[in-house]
Amino acid sequence: MSESITISVGPKTFVLDKAKAAEALAGKRVLNGAQSMFFDILPIKYQWAYDLYKTMKANHWEPEDIPMQKDCEQWRDASGEVKDVEKWIIKMAVGYFSAAEGIVGDNIQHVTRDLVTAPELKLVLGRHAHEENIHADSLVYMISSLGINPHECEALFRSLPSIMRKTDFVVNNSRKMRRDLDMTLPENKQAFVRNCFMFGQCMEGTQFYGLFGMVLALYRQNKFPGIGQMFRYTLRDESNHIEVFRNLIMDCVSENPEVWTASFKEELRNTMREAVALEKDFIRDCLPVNALGLSADEFCQYIDFIADRRLIDVGLAPLNGGKIANPFPWLAEMMDLKKEQNFFEGRVTEYQKAAALKVAHDDDL
């Protein structure tokens, strides 16, 4: 009789043939694993991927559930209560993210999810791509609620050099990956890690945070509350996306240690250096004058702070010795949705499965 092994998934357990389970697990790799069209998630090797999938699903939200009345009034306000520069920030946020969310989702569907081989990795990346759809749809909702001309929005995205450079930075890399690559070659494995790093740590992890901070600074002053709330939900999603890419990098490197050379690590640090420089140019375009009591200099410092954190999180040396202070401690609190009880009073609560709410509650204790 063959030996058996007990596997558990959440509260459930079941029995598998030990040899078959070992063979299935051995075939699971980030890159170059067993190819199967059967989506064999069990037995799970990458538990983090399955757990993140569940967390992301429990955070589900729908843009239309967030009221935009106050935002519309403020958008049309001519009394001067809402300054032009504040409306400009909203326009930049809507313009940039309308395209950026699509770019991230497209890269996941056509590069990342295509290249990974383990089914549970494809599972979480499918959810990741879907969340980019929700984010893109939330921008459609903002644009249509405020009555912004979508062509104007697009024109902004295509004509502002600081936005174009940010876009080219990631799009060029994504494009290079769309051909039949021999993933057994070390340089192509490095290209995969570089792509994960650019999208997860540089773009979603660092370049999104300039505007996130500005929109939430407005939200804190009760300006554009609907948009602010949507950005808080988006930000919570992004923190999971950064985690997906971070885990992919770490596991890919541990399975392929030959790629993690001193020169490759230095190259990634330089990539982050470039991402930070692009973001600082962009911040200066968003904040031509000191609005909201916040200065462009402070936002640039915030980007240095975030970038160092991203580098450290993937095992790379920070650019500023990790010694930059966070100039916006209030932003960290606002990003940590679990700590705010009132936040769950809205309709979004209904999407939350009981288990997910329990986790949030336990964390508060």
Helix ranges, 34-148 (H): 47-58, 69-76, 84-107, 113-115, 119-146
Task: Provide the minimum distance between the beta carbon of 222 and Mn ion in the complex, in angstroms, as a whole number.
Answer: 27
Nearer to Fe ion, 56 or 259 (CB): 56
- What is the CB-side half-sphere exposure of residue 4 using CA atoms within 13 A? 7
Nearer to Fe ion, 44 or 216 (CB): 216
Nearer to Mn ion, 40 or 137 (CB): 137
Does an H or E element contain 283, and which?
Answer: helix 262-286
Give the bridge partners for 12, in sequence order.
Answer: 9
The contact mask relative to Fe ion for 83-112 (x = CB under 5 A, - = no) is ------------------x-----------
Q: Which does 86 bind (CB under 5 to 8 A by kind): Mn ion, Fe ion, none?
A: none
Binding segment (CB under 5 A) for Mn ion, from list 32-40, 89-97, 170-178, 235-243: 235-243
Given the residues 53, 96, 141, 233, the one annotated as active site: 141
Interaction of residue 120 with Fe ion, rule CB under 5 A: no
Number of residues this chain uses to bind Mn ion (CB under 5 A): 3
Q: Which of 60, 127, 128, 135 binds Fe ion (CB under 5 A)?
A: 135
Report d(CA 235, CA 334) in Å as an integer: 10
Task: Provide the minimum distance between the beta carbon of 282 and Fe ion in the complex, in angstroms, as a whole number.
Answer: 17
Active site residue 351: no
Interaction of residue 241 with Mn ion, rule CB under 5 A: yes
**Neighbouring residues of 196: CB distance < 8 A, sequence distance ≥ 6:** 112, 245, 248, 249, 252
Q: Which does 243 bind (CB under 5 to 8 A by kind): Mn ion, Fe ion, none?
A: none
Quick one: DSSP state of residue 224? S
Nearer to Fe ion, 132 or 243 (CB): 132
Task: Provide the minimum distance between the beta carbon of 191 and Fe ion in the complex, in angstroms, as a whole number.
Answer: 23
The closest alpha carbon to 147, from 218, 89, 68, belongs to: 68
Quick one: DSSP state of residue 109? I
Are 303 and 279 contacting, i.e. CB atoms less than 8 angstroms apart? Answer: yes
Interaction of residue 243 with Mn ion, rule CB under 5 A: no
Report d(CA 201, CA 213) in Å as an integer: 17
Give the bridge partners for 17, in sequence order.
Answer: 4
Task: Provide the minimum distance between the beta carbon of 342 and Mn ion in the complex, in angstroms, as a whole number.
Answer: 25
The contact mask relative to Mn ion for 176-215 (x = CB under 5 A, - = no) is ----------------------------x-----------
Binding segment (CB under 5 A) for Fe ion, from list 7-15, 56-64, 86-94, 130-138: 130-138
Are 256 and 210 contacting, i.e. CB atoms less than 8 angstroms apart? Answer: no
The contact mask relative to Mn ion for 16-45 (x = CB under 5 A, - = no) is ------------------------------
Report d(CA 134, CA 157) in Å as an integer: 20
Nearer to Mn ion, 121 or 259 (CB): 121
Range 201-226 burial, b when 16+ CB lie within 10 A, else e = bbbbbbbbbbbbbbbbbbbeeebbbb
Nearer to Mn ion, 106 or 255 (CB): 106
Report d(CA 107, CA 229) in Å as an integer: 26
Q: Which amino acids are annotated catalytic?
A: 141
Report the interface residues with Mn ion, using CB under 5 A: 204, 238, 241
Q: Which residues bind Fe ion (CB under 5 A)?
A: 101, 132, 135
